[in-house]
Chain A
Amino acid sequence: MAGLEDLYREIILDHYRSPRNRGELPVPPARKLEGFNPLCGDEIVLYLETDDAEGTVSDIRIGGQGCSISQASSSMMGAAVRGKTVAEARKLIRAFKALMSIHESRLEGDGDGEDLAAELEGVRLGDLEALQGVVKFPVRIKCATLAWNTLAQGLDEEQATS
């Protein structure tokens, strides 16, 4: 069993205590998305604004309630994708989910994360790497991926309507 210090890294607790990009954006132009973790009741409300001309995530705000892992993950995600191109954001989502997918992918039958290296190649996760310890606590992976799944859904909706 991994130690708690693998899970509650200082940078995670920092994002939890002082979440970045907390708040709301006017809808429209922003898009509002809600994500739920049906296992534990965590909720995220994501406000996503994209600049179609530039192809960027021009602004992002995050609300909702959740545990330290889900709150820190969403805070770090917002900081990581804000101002990035949509393509970069998608790549980051894939990389992050690959980082977390060692257990989650079993149900999908797609092996034990051998694509991890391919997905992570050329992607700078930065602070997000602190969340790597979460995979040692399988129950908490869904806490970490909630914000990212919600963002992916938002980008998909954005693409479908633009």
Chain B
Amino acid sequence: MSTIHAPGPLARLRTDFPILDRRVNGKRLVYLDSAATAQKPQAVLDALDDYYTQHNANVHRGVYTLAEEATAAYEEARAKTARFVGAPMPREVIFTRSTTEATNLVAHAWGRSTLAAGDVVVLTHMEHHANIVPWHMLAAERGVELRWIPLTADGHLDLTDLPRLLEGAKLLAVTAVSNVLGTINDIAPLAEAAHAAGALVLVDAAQAAPHLTIDVNALGADFLAFSGHKMLGPTGIGALWARRELLEAMPPFLGGGEMISDVRLDGFTCAELPWKFEAGTPPIAEAVGLGAAIDYLNSVGMDAVRAHELSLTTYAVASLGERFGDRFRVHGPADPVERSGVLSFEFATSQGDSVHPHDIAQVLDSEGVCVRAGHHCAKPLMRVLGVTATARASFYVYNDEDDIDALGDALGAVEKMFG
């Protein structure tokens, strides 16, 4: 297979990720599920360890040294996060638990204060449940109308009817990258059309922020949601970026400590941004860990991250296609340039029998290869594709051509079991 492609330039990064040294079921660990969650480099693990062993204290409360250090570290992480997505100012970045909490924050605080019966929210058929269910909840509660941008046969958004779908819309909520198809959506022109129709734009960047350069202004986003754990950071930390005037106008989301400037018996006054939206003790260590993950990604360079994944995806499609022909069929855009390093695939035996994704993933696991099998929290998309589940391999900075060859060998074992 090496005739197809030379080893990628980031192959050496693998050693930065200690978990990749372990063996699973007696085999080298081949981790191909980074679209679900990424592994963590030593630098992130060290940052968590350093925070807890040297600086742990609650933030924005104590006057003592530790509390000042913890607060400074937490706010420095916010500043790094803001710069990472091109946000004009750190106070526009709200730390959340996850992308899901970020979209719920928008649906709850912005949606419930802005939308009334008959108002329209436009979604797409390729959204993750995190960018569907909050809007379903709002639709059920407020009578908001949901409209859907369909897909073309090759896994792109079908924009034929876009002007009609956007007519009277108050919000377009769209993913930047599909977690199933890998499709990279061209957000900027979509946002322009949405704005022209009077709608705001929420971008689900959970699958984009880890892999592509993000600039909220270039995208034309009004809200941008993403998670730390998919971009080498810890679980339990995510972020919502939104334009300041929107955040100023929105009522708070959760109530409690930290988010107030005053509480009286007859009411309360909100804290200023961003703390207005950060009730309770925040995930401090996790934010610091996210900051370290961002430092790591910046040191690699997001252009190099993208180039590496594009090279791996190209190699995977070519080498697995050469090995299995039509029996290895990938969902989504055929051209790797149009997709991120996410390959949802169908696999059939030489008799032509399609092997269920669960069974594929089970046999792959016995070979040390981790892939996701299931509906990927995108059941509407599964219905569009006419399947109940897919197997999905997804790549990141620590993967290399050997991992893809291991996937091919493990698929050989699937064939042996079910052929």
Contact = CB atoms under 8 A, between A and B. Distances in A.
A41 B362 contact: no
Nearest to B376: A41
B417 A140 contact: no
Contact of B362 (A4, A39, A43): A4
Contact of A41 (B388, B417, B418): B388
Contacts of B417: 4, 8
Contact of B389 (A3, A41, A140): A41
Nearest to A71: B356
A40 B359 contact: no
Contact of A4 (B366, B375, B388, B389): B366
B359 A42 contact: no
A24 B363 CA distance: 32
Given A8-B417, A65-B388, A66-B388, A40 B362 contact: no
Contacts of B358: 40, 42, 66-69, 140, 143
A66 B374 contact: no
Interface residues of B, number: 17
Contact of B374 (A13, A39, A43, A69): A39
Contacts, number: 47
Nearest to A65: B388
Interface residues of A, number: 20
Contacts of B356: 66-68, 71
Given A41-B382, A41-B389, A67-B356, A137 B362 contact: yes
Interface in A87-118: none
A85 to B, nearest CB: 33
Nearest to B378: A41
B379 interface: yes
A1 to B, nearest CB: 5
B25 A41 contact: no
B233 interface: no
Given A4-B366, A40-B357, A137-B362, 17 more contacts: A1-B25, A3-B366, A4-B362, A4-B363, A7-B362, A41-B388, A41-B389, A42-B358, A42-B388, A67-B358, A67-B359, A68-B356, A68-B358, A68-B359, A69-B358, A71-B356, A140-B358
Interface of B: 25, 356-359, 362-363, 366, 373-375, 379, 382, 388-389, 417-418
Interface of A: 1, 3-4, 7-8, 13, 39-43, 65-69, 71, 137, 140, 143
24 contacts: A1-B25, A3-B366, A4-B366, A4-B417, A7-B362, A8-B417, A40-B357, A40-B358, A40-B373, A40-B374, A40-B389, A41-B374, A41-B379, A41-B388, A41-B389, A42-B358, A42-B388, A66-B388, A67-B356, A68-B358, A68-B359, A68-B418, A69-B359, A143-B358
List the 8 closest pairs (A to B, CB-CB), nearest first. Answer: A67-B358, A41-B375, A67-B356, A41-B388, A40-B374, A41-B389, A65-B388, A68-B359
